[in-house]
Amino acid sequence: MSCRDYQHQITLLLYDELPESSRVELETHLQSCPNCHDAYESEKAMHSVLAEDAARWSDIPSDLLVESRKGLADKLDRIERNRSRWRLPAFSVVFTPMRLLESVALIAMGLALGVYVSNQRQVIPQVAGNPAQDQISVIPRNGTISNLQVVSADPVTGQVELAGEISQPLRFQGKMEDDTVRSLLFSALRDANNPGSRLKAVEMLAQKPTDESIEEALINALIYDHDAGVRMRAMEGLQRFADEQHVRAAFMHTLENDTDAGIRVKAIDALMARNSRDVELAKSLEAVTKKDDNPYIRSKGLEFVGTAK
Amino acid sequence: MEAILKRTAQRVHESDDEKLLIEQAQNGDREAFEQLVRRHDRDILRLAFHMLGNREEAREVFQETFLKAYRSLSRFRFESSFYTWVYRIATNVSLDHLRKRQTLKEEISYESDTEMNPDRPALKETLAATTYYSNPERRLYGKEVGEKIREALKTLSEKERLVFELRHYQGLRLKMIGEIMGSTEETAKNYLFRATQKLRAYLTHV
Ligand SMILES: [Zn+2]
């Protein structure tokens, strides 16, 4: 191999992408060839400068992650809303039985939940030529139809296109840790029309924030939910984790954007209780609380800056 | 770097149930789709944030990437991993944004060219003072170096930029980068080599 070939391999060596045998050969050559050795040293030096640059970029700001996720969720919501309203085939039935979560009692200890299995809209395709009765049979016994919409109706052919939702009671028992219980609760959190059901779900989750996925669900509820009660419960479930990066970012977001002063107060209290020595945080808190129209929050902000110093 | 290694290890574990999630998402299961997103969205955001260099555009690229994935998920055929597939979308969207920005800049004026004027201290000196010949134990990184590196990255062709980005800043292996580009590991190697050559030329001759 020529020196040129060896110098080609230096880059790969520095990126740990050189196969073992070539690596040994290259290292041997570097010991005996001053030219290649120089090239290696200079490339290594550049590599370390670039590596420091990469290290600077390796962490993404957690509030940016929160914002980006929220933006995406909003857009997906919009797409889904349009789809469920307008893109349904004739006589299809759409399942969103989340409503039932509210109507069936949620007994705390046994965790008997009246929910269904996933909050997705399963579109049942129409089999060509089937009489309507067959389609009706897809509605489960004790299922009910709600939110019926006439998508289109043709008086000449008698063809109609309907869309609606089927709700069906179901019970599920299990431990909080069970994946099914969890996905039931997570699904309930998305039931946009039903704050009562979301509130119960958040209460259950807040009792036992054991892991990242629950934390994430609570953060979502805290930031996205339109109902102040739901946001408040989520806040309560999260407050003891106020020293964790993502929770902190979420609380800062709340402090800056939540319209409910009670929730903002909780946010600043939790941030202060868990991060009393964080000067950086104190600074951004000061900037945010300065503009707050609530005097308690403004004074808390000042107090925090004082204690952090 | 350790974090990157950990993520890689985690990914292998996750690939088993990933297939199931993808199938559920393909059947319109939004929950499954969001779980898929959550597995990879930090990596995608890191890519977008570094490629574009600002929060605004990073967020746009992030959202555009996953919306595209959402819309075209039904066409996903398991010929690659989901991760590779999403990365491919993300790199395309990122490059699109950079291209748009480039056109915009050219249309506006030559003014930005003055930025490139050799009035500033040559990077060669900066590098010399910081790393090349000094004690490697010291923290060597200055803000100015960071800016120079960003300028240097602009001299790369799209493919060079892409490979360098994925290998150096995102820590992906060349084999996977080849897959993301719809090409081979060998090709990725060549681009990485050319990219480092160009960067070195720029960083030592400015
Ligand atoms: Zn040699």
Q: Which of A11, A71, A190 sits opposite B63 (nearest CB)?
A: A71
In this structure, which residues have their CB less than 5 angstroms from ion ligand 1? A 3, 33, 36
Residue A50 has pLDDT above 90, yes or no: yes
CA of A17 to the centre of ligand 1 (A): 20
B83 is written with which tokens?
A: 């991760």
Q: Could you report the per-residue pLDDT of B48-89, keeping only the tens digit for each?
A: 999 999 999 999 999 999 999 998 998 888 888 899 999 999
Torsions phi, psi for B112 (to 5 deg): -65, -20
Residue A292 has pLDDT above 90, yes or no: no
Counting the structural domains of chain B, the total is 1
User: How large is the average pLDDT for residues B8-28?
Assistant: 75
Residue B129 has pLDDT above 60, yes or no: no
The C-alpha atoms of residue A260 and residue A231 are separated, in whole angstroms, by 9
* Residues of chain B neighbouring A224 (CB-CB closer than 8 A): none
CATH of the domain at B39: 1.10.1740.10
Is B95 inside a domain boundary? yes
Measure the CA dihedral B55/B57/B61/B62, to 10°: 20
Q: Do A71 and B203 touch (CB under 8 A)?
A: no
Torsions phi, psi for A96 (to 5 deg): -140, 75
Instruction: Kindly indicate the confidence band of residue A290, based on its pLDDT and cuts at 50, 70 and 90.
Output: confident
- Show the domain range for B42: 1-104
Domain ranges of chain A: 121-167
Q: What is the pLDDT of residue A136?
A: 47
A295 in Cβ contact with A262 (< 8 Å): no
* Residues of chain A neighbouring B7 (CB-CB closer than 8 A): none
B77 is written with which tokens?
A: 């055929």
Question: Which of A13, A72, A93 is best to mutate for the B interface (most B CBs within 10 A)?
Answer: A72
Q: What is the pLDDT of residue B103?
A: 72
Q: What is the pLDDT of residue B63?
A: 95
* Residues of chain B neighbouring A79 (CB-CB closer than 8 A): 67, 70
Instruction: Kindly indicate the confidence band of residue A235, based on its pLDDT and cuts at 50, 70 and 90.
Output: very high
Is B153 inside a domain boundary? no
Higher pLDDT residue, A124 or B160?
Answer: B160
Residue A233 has pLDDT above 80, yes or no: yes
What single-letter amino acid sits at A276? S
* Cβ of residue A193 closer than 8 Å to a chain B Cβ: no
Q: What is the pLDDT of residue A68?
A: 92
Residue A264 has pLDDT above 70, yes or no: yes
The C-alpha atoms of residue A284 and residue A268 are separated, in whole angstroms, by 12
**Which range is least confidently modeled, A173-182, A236-245, B154-163?**
A173-182
Higher pLDDT residue, B110 or A260?
Answer: A260
User: How large is the average pLDDT for residues A264-270?
Assistant: 90
User: How large is the average pLDDT for residues A186-211?
Assistant: 79
Could you identify the residue written with the tokens 């039904």? B74
Compute the mean pLDDT over every residue in chain A, rounded to the nearest whole number: 75
Q: What is the pLDDT of residue B135?
A: 37
Q: Do B130 and A57 touch (CB under 8 A)?
A: no
Higher pLDDT residue, A285 or B87?
Answer: B87
Q: What is the pLDDT of residue B33?
A: 93
User: How large is the average pLDDT for residues A121-148?
Assistant: 52
Q: Which residues pair with A171 in a beta bridge?
A: A114
CA of A53 to the centre of ligand 1 (A): 29
